[in-house]
């Protein structure tokens, strides 16, 4: 078996059927298998898939065990020499899986390959090219050149020996050998959702090169997700599940100091943000609490983050999944 393609399913049977159709249409020169790990098994919901592609391995995870653990279930069930982790909400439009396989097979310096995300018009979708690109966005500082230059000096642009090289692969399309993945003990199951691909990329980059190749592309049909933020502002730029996972990744990959610096940034910002708005309201002759929804939401989010401060600091066992009432964006939306 050349490649095992692992999917995590959570109420995405229709998307999966479309994705499988695209794979079987365009992947004709590989011996591959498809493994679906179901995090929300409903008897009969998989009938259309199994009727059309009866060779598919369908595994009931027993509940919503999270993205990392479900991927590991698929990894251990895989028969292929290489494993491709592919999102359900994706499509392939050419032999991209074969291309990725050939790249890994013929270049022993590569530990893993990612796919470049495009939309239905095959226009590139934005993504973080390197880990430092992600980390720079964690810091909330005044929107001025001085502070941006300061952050850039602390977390400089990361450069590599080859133009296609990176240290951050998007988890929607990530291929590596089963041997390497097992050597690294797979995905970190302390992550329920988000940042697990950054953490895995960090570990993969320690044993080989990671790369995006221009010819390895896939369509990503970005779906609505209840964990994503519903409103955006310069300060309220992060959603709770995403940021809890990001903080866990920073703590695991970079240690205590960077983790504490991010918390210090947010802690210092909260009273400053309130004081700025109150002073602005007073200068305009308004009530001191007028139009402070942004400040209130940030304070709520900071309070939730502090619930996870000591568990992450001491790396207590996960998975780190926020509670429904901690999903501040959705709470405020309703």
CB 36 within 8 A of CB 16: yes
* Longest alpha-carbon distance in the chain: 72
Which of 280-315 are b and which e, b meaning 16 or more Cβ less than 10 Å from the residue's Cβ?
ebeeeeeeeeeebeebebbbbbbebbeebeebbeee
**Pairing between β-strand 82-86 and β-strand 110-118 as defined by DSSP bridges:** unpaired
Q: What is the pLDDT of residue 68?
A: 98
Q: Which tens digit of pLDDT belongs to each residue from 151-160?
A: 999 999 999 9
Q: CA-based Rg of the chain, rounded to a whole angstrom?
A: 21
Kindly report the pTM of this predicted structure.
0.94
CATH T-level assignment (fold) for domain 3-220: Spore Coat Polysaccharide Biosynthesis Protein SpsA; Chain A (3.90.550)
CB neighbourhood size of 248 (10 A): 26
List average pLDDT for each run of 10 residues in the chain, which is 334 residues long.
97 97 97 98 95 97 97 98 97 98 97 97 94 96 89 94 96 98 98 98 98 98 62 82 98 98 97 95 94 94 98 98 92 67
Distance between CA atoms of residues 271 and 140, nearest Å = 13
The 3-state DSSP composition of the chain as helix, strand, coil percent (nearest 5) reads 45, 15, 40
Distance between CA atoms of residues 229 and 236, nearest Å = 9
Helical (H) or strand (E) element with 259: helix 256-283
CB neighbour class for 62 (10 Å; exposed up to 12, middle 13-18, buried from 19): exposed
Q: What is the pLDDT of residue 271?
A: 96
Q: Which of 277, 257, 281 is nearest to 269 (CA)?
A: 277
Ranges in the chain annotated CATH 3.90.550.10: 3-220
CB 89 within 8 A of CB 60: no
Secondary structure of residue 267 in the 3-state scheme: helix
Q: What would the two tokens of residue 273 be?
A: 């943000």
CB 138 within 8 A of CB 254: no
CA angle, residues 129, 132, 136, in degrees to nearest 5: 110
Q: What is the pLDDT of residue 214?
A: 96
């Amino acid at each position: 078996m050349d490649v095992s393609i692992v999917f995590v399913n959570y109420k995405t049977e229709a998307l999966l059927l479309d994705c499988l159709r695209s794979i079987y249409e365009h992947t004709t020169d590989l011996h591959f298998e498809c493994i679906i790990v179901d995090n929300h098994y409903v008897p009969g919901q998989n009938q259309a898939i199994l009727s059309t592609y009866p060779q598919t391995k369908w595994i009931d995870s027993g509940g919503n065990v999270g993205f990392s653990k479900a991927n590991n279930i698929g990894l251990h069930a895989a028969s292929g020499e290489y494993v491709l982790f592919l999102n359900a909400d994706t499509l392939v439009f050419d032999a991209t899986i074969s291309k990725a396989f050939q790249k890994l097979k013929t270049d022993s310096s590569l530990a893993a390959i990612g796919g470049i995300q495009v939309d239905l018009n095959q226009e590139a979708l934005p993504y973080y090219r390197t880990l430092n690109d992600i980390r720079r966005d964690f810091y909330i500082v005044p929107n001025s050149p001085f502070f941006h230059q300061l952050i850039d000096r602390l977390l400089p642009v990361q450069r590599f020996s080859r133009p296609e090289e990176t240290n951050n692969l998007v988890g929607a399309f990530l291929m590596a050998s089963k041997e390497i993945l097992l050597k690294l003990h797979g995905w970190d199951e302390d992550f329920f959702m988000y940042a697990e691909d950054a953490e895995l990329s960090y570990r993969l980059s320690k044993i080989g090169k990671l790369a995006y190749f221009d010819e390895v592309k896939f369509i990503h049909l970005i779906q609505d997700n209840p964990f994503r933020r519903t409103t955006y502002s310069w300060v309220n730029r992060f959603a709770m599940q995403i940021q809890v996972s990001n903080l866990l990744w920073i703590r695991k990959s970079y240690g205590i100091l960077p983790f504490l610096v991010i918390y210090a940034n947010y802690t210092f910002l909260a009273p400053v943000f309130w004081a700025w708005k109150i002073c602005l309201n007073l200068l305009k002759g308004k009530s001191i609490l007028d139009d402070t929804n942004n400040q209130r939401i940030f304070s709520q989010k900071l309070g939730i983050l502090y619930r996870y401060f000591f568990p992450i600091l001491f790396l207590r066992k996960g998975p780190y999944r926020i509670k429904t009432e901690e999903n501040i964006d959705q709470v405020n939306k309703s």
